[in-house]
Amino acid sequence: MITGSGEAGLHFLDYWRVVWTRKALVLSIFIVVVTAAAVTTAFLPKTYRAWTTIEVVAEGKDIDVFEKEGRRGIYDPYFLQTQFENIRQKDVLYPVIEQLSLGERWGKRDGYESGGYPKDYTYMLLQGSLDVVQRRNSSLLEIRVDSRSPAEAVEIANAIAREYQNNRLQQTRGQSGRGLERLEEELKKQDEARNVAKAEVERLRKDLGITEIPGSGLMRSTEAMPMNDMILQRKESEVNDAQTMLLETEERYKQVQGLSNTDFENALVTLNIRDENIQQIRGQLITVEGQLASLRKQGYGINHPSVLAQEAIQTRLRQQLENNLNGLRKGLEVQVASARTRYEEMKRQLEEFRTKTISEKSDRFVPFREAQRNYEFQQQMFEAMQARYQQAAVESEIPRTPIILRSEAEAIPRPVKPNWWLNMALAVVVGGILGLGTAFFIEYLDTSVKTIDDVEKAVGAPVLAVVPEGAGPLNVMASASPAGEAYRILRARLDAVRPDASANSLTMVSGGPGEGKSTTLFNLGWTMAQGGMRVLLVDADLRRPTLHQIFGVQNQAGLSSLLTGRPKLENVVFGTPLETLHFMPSGVHSDSAIGLLNSERMAEIVADLKSCYDWVLLDAPPILGVSDASVLARGVDLTVIVVQYRRYPIAICQRVSQTVEQVGGRVVGVVLNRVDTRRDDTYSYYSGYDYYYAQRPENGDGKPPPRKLAGRAAPKSHGAVVDDGGAENY
């Protein structure tokens, strides 16, 4: 449990280190995004919204004359969801566009060259500004319109509501009129059949000389088979019912046959046709179309993966809906065929039974009675159809209000877009995510040295010291400082890692120039000398020497003189402000001297110097740039790699270590130089030196002692005693 908690904490600190290190970048991106959002929001055109509330009723009759009360206004979610799309169709919006001249108005507003937008483009713009919302669990719809003008939004919303109301009235009246015409045709046919049956009855009555009406005592006295008559009467009633069902089925099928799939879908409720599969697919289709409309309102393009995915689902659902509607048409056709077959079969059975009954009777009045029954049957059919026709005629005259305007649109002076608070909240979120994402992405691309673990893993050697940023030569800085303490730690750890006292020659190498190698070598020698050791600093960088500038001496004679000639050692070694610290410059640049670095003469010089001093420190050029550093690394006992924090890729450190090992040198450790302890919490321990060393002893007046710089002595011989200029105070 402890290990797990520690790992989680470490991971969090790693993320926090990245954010803190690049806080300036994160903050800059955050400010730019928020500022851009604020400026954009301020200059975006204002959009105003107006809405009108309507109540949509499926039947829409003001009075139910022949039906039970309470059916009007039944909540049907599928019907209402269908109306969402009907309001957005061209047969509703095109008249609004023409009535309000929206194409010319919007074209002039936007500076369109032709003076007005085409009708189809205006239709697309109007659809984009239109939204239909259903109030939960009710038949109320809100028609919302967005516009740059409050008055225009009100005008368009009210116009759409009125046009949709007219459209619904025309559709309802058209369906009622077509049904009434069909019913009138069937009534005329039935009247003709009734008259034919009546004429047959009159003919038989005259032929048979019947003076009494059917049903008199004479007719009853001649009935021989009362049971057959009862059966015959029942079968006639069944044939009557079958014919009525056939007529209703044919009427419904004929109404459907002339409709397109879209009109058929909208008329399902009116035709009292229920299909669970179609209702389910319509519900899914409306949901997908709502999501697609939402994506488009959010600004997603037509090629966006989310839009393409929703359009694919929409296409699949529409195909399924088309298949189901076609199947439903086939089903109605099968129902008509089945009803007709049933009617024909029952009629055939009736005729067979009637013939059988007639054959079994010897009474001469049987044909008359059969004709009378047929007439009565045709009369009943005529009366039923006449009653239905009269009912339909009355219903067609009843006022219909399929759309009830509950509230008209009103102008609202406050714009709905742009939403300042929403945009600012999104800008804060997006700015934070973008800033953090950029910081982590740059951190991912940054392969430079960042942590001690990175260096130790790459080089295969321990980090001996971490030098904070801003460290300079200790001869001009206070020794009691965070930088001075870092070099004292380096001195102590070098004593710990070297195998024995005889391994006292050391060089510092780096992968590239400017990593602070020479300053680090100088400060290490200065710190060693302050500890009482006899130290010699040798500037072995014969190409670009720098140590003589730190000491403030001339670079006339030095290592190059020893390599090309045999002057006395005291002529090329100079004293410093510290008694135990001596310095050998590189000398005047000489190509011949550079070539002698890899020679027995150089090895003899190093051996002689090692015998005279406790430590011999040789400054070298970058190891990956020239061969001098490789030669020096092979000729000394110890090699320390100096790596500048966040400058070169980690692969450079690996290459430096491999180069030293290839030439036979020995890497004992790494100095991580110029670390910004204020930016990186990984090195917070080292930044604590600032506080610790700031508590300096006070004088009697309550003030810290004045800072004293080390003096720079003139060059003196090896054996001379040099005044340290008060260097013991550093």
pLDDT tens digits, 166-194: 888 777 766 666 677 777 788 888 888 88
pLDDT of residue 725: 32
Task: Kindly tell me if the per-residue pLDDT of 61 is higher than 80.
Answer: no
Q: Give domain status of residue 214, yes or no.
A: yes
Same-domain check for residues 206 and 312? no
Same-domain check for residues 90 and 185? yes
Place of tokens 């309802």: 172
Q: Give domain status of residue 40, yes or no.
A: yes
Same-domain check for residues 461 and 539? yes
Q: Give domain status of residue 202, yes or no.
A: yes
Characterize the bridge pairing of strands 638-644 and 667-675: parallel
- The structure tokens listed for 628 are 């001098």
CB-based contacts of 516: which residues, under 8 Å, 6+ apart? 467, 471, 510, 642, 644, 673, 674
**Which of 65-69, 155-159, 606-610 has the largest mean confidence?**
155-159
* Confidence tier at 554 by pLDDT (50, 70, 90): confident
Place of tokens 């790693």: 14
pLDDT of residue 11: 63
End-to-end CA distance of the chain: 48
* Confidence tier at 708 by pLDDT (50, 70, 90): very low
Question: What span, in angstroms and rounded, lies between the C-alpha atoms of 368 and 374?
Answer: 10
Same-domain check for residues 53 and 37? no
pTM of the model: 0.47
Give φ, ψ of 87 to 5 degrees: -65, -30
> How many other C-beta atoms can be found within 10 angstroms of the C-beta atom of residue 672?
26
pLDDT of residue 602: 79
Same-domain check for residues 641 and 685? yes
Query: Are 599 and 628 spatial neighbours (Cβ–Cβ below 8 Å)?
Result: no
Q: Give domain status of residue 286, yes or no.
A: yes
pLDDT of residue 229: 67
pLDDT of residue 425: 93
Same-domain check for residues 63 and 142? yes
pLDDT of residue 704: 43
Same-domain check for residues 644 and 532? yes
Of residues 415 and 259, more confidently modeled: 415
pLDDT of residue 615: 92
Same-domain check for residues 530 and 662? yes
335 - beta bridge partners? none
Question: What span, in angstroms and rounded, lies between the C-alpha atoms of 672 and 456?
Answer: 10
Same-domain check for residues 245 and 353? yes
pLDDT of residue 33: 93
3-state DSSP helix/strand/coil % of the chain, to nearest 5: 60, 10, 30
User: Measured between alpha carbons, how far is residue 370 from residues 84, 208, 237, 243, 715 in Å?
Assistant: 58, 14, 14, 19, 152
Query: Taking Cα atoms as reference points, which of 582, 605, 472 lies closest to residue 525?
Result: 582
- The structure tokens listed for 368 are 């008359």
Give φ, ψ of 81 to 5 degrees: -65, -30
SS3 48: strand
Q: Which helix (H) or strand (E) holds 652?
A: helix 650-662
The average pLDDT across 147-153 equals: 89
Sign of CA dihedral 449, 454, 457, 463: positive
- The structure tokens listed for 725 are 């200029």
Laid out side by side, the sheet with 48-56 consists of: 130-134, 140-147, 48-56, 403-407
Place of tokens 């044919």: 250
Q: Give domain status of residue 407, yes or no.
A: yes
Instruction: Tell me the pLDDT tens digit for each residue of 588-636.
Output: 766 655 555 666 777 888 888 888 999 999 988 887 767 777 778 888 8
The average pLDDT across 706-727 equals: 35
Q: Give domain status of residue 52, yes or no.
A: yes
The whole-angstrom distance between residue 588's C-alpha and the CA centroid of its chain comes to 66
Task: Kindly tell me if the per-residue pLDDT of 680 is higher than 80.
Answer: no
- The structure tokens listed for 644 are 């500048």
Q: Could you say which DSSP state residue 100 is in?
A: H
The average pLDDT across 203-209 equals: 76
Instruction: Tell me the pLDDT tens digit for each residue of 218-277.
Output: 343 333 344 566 777 788 888 888 888 888 787 777 777 777 777 777 777 666 677 778
508 - beta bridge partners? 619, 640
Which amino acid is residue 472, in one-letter code? G
Question: What span, in angstroms and rounded, lies between the C-alpha atoms of 58 and 177?
Answer: 17
Question: What span, in angstroms and rounded, lies between the C-alpha atoms of 281 and 300?
Answer: 25
Q: Give domain status of residue 7, yes or no.
A: no
Q: Could you say which DSSP state residue 706 is in?
A: P
Query: Taking Cα atoms as reference points, which of 478, 537, 528 lies closest to residue 507?
Result: 537
Task: Kindly tell me if the per-residue pLDDT of 478 is higher than 70.
Answer: no
Query: Are 25 and 435 spatial neighbours (Cβ–Cβ below 8 Å)?
Result: yes
**Domains contained in the chain, number:** 4
Average pLDDT, the chain: 76
Same-domain check for residues 433 and 486? no
Of residues 383 and 84, more confidently modeled: 383
Question: CATH number, domain at 654?
Answer: 3.40.50.300
Q: Give domain status of residue 217, yes or no.
A: yes
* Confidence tier at 581 by pLDDT (50, 70, 90): very high
Phi-psi region of 516 (alpha: psi -120 to 50; beta: other; left: phi over 0): left
pLDDT of residue 29: 93
Same-domain check for residues 646 and 570? yes
Helix 650-662 / helix 628-635 crossing angle, nearest 10 deg: 60
Task: Kindly tell me if the per-residue pLDDT of 58 is higher than 80.
Answer: no
Instruction: Tell me the pLDDT tens digit for each residue of 330-387.
Output: 888 888 888 888 888 888 888 887 776 665 554 566 777 788 888 888 888 888 888 8
Characterize the bridge pairing of strands 638-644 and 505-509: parallel
Same-domain check for residues 180 and 317? no
Task: Kindly tell me if the per-residue pLDDT of 479 is higher than 80.
Answer: no
* Confidence tier at 286 by pLDDT (50, 70, 90): confident
Which amino acid is residue 148, in one-letter code? R
Determine the structural domain holding residue 311 and report its residue range.
225-360
* Confidence tier at 426 by pLDDT (50, 70, 90): very high
SS3 291: helix
Place of tokens 């609004």: 96
The whole-angstrom distance between residue 682's C-alpha and the CA centroid of its chain comes to 34
* Confidence tier at 720 by pLDDT (50, 70, 90): very low
pLDDT of residue 470: 73
Question: What span, in angstroms and rounded, lies between the C-alpha atoms of 166 and 176?
Answer: 15
